[in-house]
Amino acid sequence: MNALNTTSVSLAVTPTVVSTLFSHYLNRKPLRQRPTAHLSYDEGLHLIRSFLDFASHHTVEELQAFTAQWVPHPQWVKVEDATIAEDQLTRAAEVLRAQLGEDGLRQVGGSQWWQWRKSKSVLQAEWIEMRSDAYERKKNGGSTRRVMMYIHGGAYFFGSVDEHRYQMQRHARKLKARVFAPRYRLAPQFPFPCGLQDCLAAYLYLLTVQDPTTIILAGDSAGGGMVVSLLCVLRDQGLPLPAGAILISPWVDLTHSFPSVSGHAPLDYIPQAGFHHKPSRAWPPPNEDDVAMLREEALRKMKRGAKEVPGTHELKGKQQAAVAEKDGSSKSSSSRSAWINGGVPTDPEKLLSVDIDGTPVKIKDQIQMYSTNELLAHPLVSPVMQPTLGGLPPLLIMVGGGEILRDEQIHLAHKCANPEKYALPDEAMDEKAKALLKRYKPTDVQLQVWDDLCHVAPTLSFTRPAKYMYRSIAQFGAWALAKAQKRGIEIMDDDAISVISQSGSESGSEEQEKTHETPEGEKANAALGQIGKAGDPLPPFKNHMIRQRVTRHGDIFHLGPESELPACCMPTSSVGVVKVATVKKWMATRKQWDHRYATSKAKVHKKIIKDMVHGYHEFGPDEHPPPSALAGRRRVGSVLVEGKRQKSLGLAMWSLWGSKHDEMTVEREQKAEKADEEPAVQVATEADGQGARSATDINNQEQPHFLEHGSQRRSHRRTVTDENQTGSILFEDTAVAQLLEKRREQEATGPSLLSPDFVPETGVVGKRPFLDGIALPFSLNKEADTASMVTLYSNVTPLPGSRPMSPSALSDDSEFPMKHNGHSKLDQVSTPALERPGLDTFVTAAENLPQSKKEDE
């Protein structure tokens, strides 16, 4: 098998690309009502599926190295590196220890091994934003009110910030935000809770530079599951929660207990039988029987002093099966502490067991790379197993209707909005869990199930369905920030200049496809219309939920009732219980891989025997790293360092393809703004426009207030505000600042309070004004006289320094400083030298009074 590189990947996926091109047009009728009706979507789906299948015949290390390669970014995107300080990692470890408790630390194998990092390795992150937005931010002081912390997916064991950057930069452009992406440690070398510690430390770092109301979390697939676990830790430990979170196809059930995982998913690219790879030192780790065999060989070598370990052919015959009958004997009869170093499997008494065809079977091999089988149902590994998902910030959960993980995501959304209805059985919760269930109120959730879309459809950012998903994400993110900050949030509105919006469908016009695939009755009952434009306000939450079914054209319909959703009809006692059908698919594929790569597995076992003889580093008597953890299989005297990242032409081309839409849209936006700023030149004469107002008349009129960011022009942005969709009310302990902000918003939409007869309400002393019973933080000058009193006093005796100016004095504009908008600062000019003209006589209708003098003709 060739190495995993750009050349080998290109040769492997090229036949798929060509065959998909022909089959797409030869089978257009079956594809008409599917997202695969678009050629770009069809090609992208089959390309990813082909790549994952090709990667499964390589080692995990090869896949990790390929997806972690350096990828260049477009010149219109600004990227900055950031380093998380050691004190934030230490604090994150303390928070995690408090969250796990003594029992949790025992389950994960200690409290020290998961804090270990490679020599000279630090936690790094990346800031991503549009260069134009960075320029505006620096011009306004360098601060920002919108930050998205994005945790990338990849089944917890592959992927990188570089690989996902083309998606993050789209989020940054749509939301006009800075995206903060941590480079967290990956399994199986760094299993749970290594990655969670890194993501928690990254968020704690953000809190030192940003207010929590300016932060939203986002993640796709495994990153979405990580976000849910992170939010639960923040909630339980009393740390500030972000303004909201966006979960894109979150992976929240590593036990695969929901019906959709057991079924067939032809519209998804996720492997139906799980992730299997060519054996290596990292994966799969040896099971309990393998360890017993390897230990015997290592002891034999040490006793005999042999220079060579058993041959590959001999070790092939000693390999153990991945499963065994539950009552069968195990070769691992020694205690767990005998061979802690190098990774010892979990307690055999707690191995997963299922009943297959009437025979109880226990699974000895580790299934998921992120966690041992013993921890698959842990609440921080599978967040769907949390006692309650209430008390979290508003969530947007996006589900692909054709993906294999859809049921667990739908169940997650309903459990967030109704924790009591979807709570685990009483026998599965202790007193602490029951207390948490009673403490936290339901979480507000917007659930969107997209018809027939695959897992993490925004990965195919160059497709039409992904366009609507990015807009929906930006709209929800802006709403969450606006709700938390009590202010409007401006986002992109680029429908008029979007390349995908203006281009026709690859398989026909969009309107014709919508007409054919949407029944007339269903179209008439459309719930909220199309979400094609960013910034559309969210509808009101009903029972803490917005339940939507969305087509690939962005049309929204009501999601079916819970009684029609398999994810909601599943008994809570079955959640987290491994299903027979899922195990059968996994066992069949695992058997094929063990047979095909028996020689490679024997070579790995040969290396393990050498390492056992040489010895491993230890963390202490109470530290038991999982079998795959790199921290527990370091040879004595060895120093592990991070390797240098290579450049990837393949990932660069994929990123270029994914960024092409953004690049073309940015160019169109710049041209549109330039056209608005530079009107066409025309020749005008003074004979044009006769009867118009004179220049003097226009200059003397009241000037309007200028816009904050320059001249008025057609904007390609929209402002999103919170319209009280969640039905929140103000309580007695609401901060005064929030009340004043609400008052200002009301005044902005209503008539001004400065009417001719308006008099501010003052206190007893007559100095401090009150507004709706709230004392304002300033005093009125008691000695000052109002204009009416000055006019009255002017007939009796002059008041020095307080008399108004005469009209004749006002005629000279040169004596007054002007504001930047052209208004005179009359209130800042004192006129002690000016005198009011004397009054000759009074004009009155009364009798026996002096008559007024007549002016000379």
Q: What is the mean pLDDT of residues 247-253?
A: 97
Q: What is the mean pLDDT of the chain?
A: 77
Question: Which pLDDT band holds residue 670 (cuts at 50, 70, 90)?
Answer: low
Question: Which pLDDT band holds residue 48 (cuts at 50, 70, 90)?
Answer: very high
Residue 740: what pLDDT? 59
Q: What is the mean pLDDT of residues 310-314?
A: 68
How large a percentage of the chain has pLDDT more than 70? 65
Write down the domain spans for the chain.
1-67, 68-254+375-574, 288-367+579-616
* Spatial contact of 616 and 636, defined as CB atoms under 8 Å apart: yes
In this predicted model, which residue has the larger pLDDT, 801 or 361? 361
In this predicted model, which residue has the larger pLDDT, 483 or 353? 483
Give the residue ranges of DSSP H helices in 503-597: 510-517, 520-524, 566-569, 580-596
Question: Which pLDDT band holds residue 695 (cuts at 50, 70, 90)?
Answer: very low
Question: Which pLDDT band holds residue 388 (cuts at 50, 70, 90)?
Answer: very high
Beta bridge partners of 334: none
Residue 783: what pLDDT? 52
Beta strand 178-182 pairing with 124-130 = antiparallel
Residue 539 has pLDDT above 80, yes or no: yes
Residue 498: what pLDDT? 58
Residue 287: what pLDDT? 87
Residue 358: what pLDDT? 80
Question: Using CA of residue 107, residue 112, residue 118, residue 122, what is the dihedral sign?
Answer: positive
Q: Which residues fall within 8 angstroms of residue 479, CB to CB, at 6 or more apart?
A: 244, 394, 489, 537, 538, 720, 722, 725
Q: Which amino acid is at 756?
A: P
Q: What is the mean pLDDT of residues 197-201?
A: 98
Question: Which pLDDT band holds residue 759 (cuts at 50, 70, 90)?
Answer: low
Question: Which pLDDT band holds residue 717 (cuts at 50, 70, 90)?
Answer: low
CA–CA distance, 583 with 278 (Å, rounded to integer): 20
Q: What is the mean pLDDT of residues 477-483?
A: 93
CA–CA distance, 570 with 556 (Å, rounded to integer): 26
Question: Which pLDDT band holds residue 838 (cuts at 50, 70, 90)?
Answer: low
In this predicted model, which residue has the larger pLDDT, 827 or 227? 227
* Spatial contact of 600 and 277, defined as CB atoms under 8 Å apart: no
Residue 129 has pLDDT above 90, yes or no: yes
Q: Which two tokens stand for residue 76?
A: 């219109």
Q: What is the mean pLDDT of residues 228-241?
A: 97
Render 707-746 in DSSP notation, one character per residue: PTTSS----SEEEE----TT-----TT--HHHHHHHHHHH
CA–CA distance, 400 with 268 (Å, rounded to integer): 9
In this predicted model, which residue has the larger pLDDT, 686 or 850? 850
CA–CA distance, 488 with 481 (Å, rounded to integer): 8
* Cα 552 to chain centroid, rounded: 21
Long-range contacts of 830-834 (CB under 8 A, 24+ apart): 830/801, 831/803, 831/805, 832/800, 832/801, 834/803, 834/805, 834/806, 834/809
Residue 676: what pLDDT? 53
Least confident interval from 4-8, 266-270, 407-411 = 4-8
Q: Give per-residue pLDDT as tens, 727-756.
A: 754 444 445 555 556 566 555 554 444 545
Residue 149: what pLDDT? 98
In this predicted model, which residue has the larger pLDDT, 838 or 389? 389
Q: Give per-residue pLDDT as tens, 430-464.
A: 899 999 999 999 999 999 999 999 999 999 988 88
Q: What is the mean pLDDT of residues 291-299?
A: 84
Question: Which pLDDT band holds residue 561 (cuts at 50, 70, 90)?
Answer: very high
Question: Which pLDDT band holds residue 716 (cuts at 50, 70, 90)?
Answer: low
Q: Give per-residue pLDDT as tens, 584-616.
A: 999 999 999 999 999 999 899 888 888 888 888
Residue 546: what pLDDT? 92
CA–CA distance, 477 with 247 (Å, rounded to integer): 11
Render 48-93 in DSSP notation, one character per residue: HHHHHHHHTTS-HHHHHHHHTSB----TTEEEEEEE--HHHHHHHH
Residue 198: what pLDDT? 97
Q: Give per-residue pLDDT as tens, 63-119.
A: 999 999 888 888 889 999 999 999 999 999 999 999 999 999 999 999 999 999 988
Among residues 212, 206, 217, 160, the alpha carbon closest in space to that of 186 is found at 160
Least confident interval from 287-291, 448-452, 775-779 = 775-779
Q: Residue 284, SS3? A: coil
Q: Which residues fall within 8 angstroms of residue 524, CB to CB, at 6 or more apart?
A: none
Q: In what order do the strands lie in the sheet with 761-762?
A: 761-762, 769-771, 774-775
CA–CA distance, 276 with 586 (Å, rounded to integer): 9
Angle between helices 649-677 and 60-67 (to 10 degrees): 30
Question: Which pLDDT band holds residue 238 (cuts at 50, 70, 90)?
Answer: very high
DSSP state of 703: P
Residue 326 has pLDDT above 60, yes or no: no
Domain 68-254+375-574 has CATH 3.40.630.10: no
The angle at the Cα of 371, spanning 367 to 373, to the nearest 5 degrees, equals 50
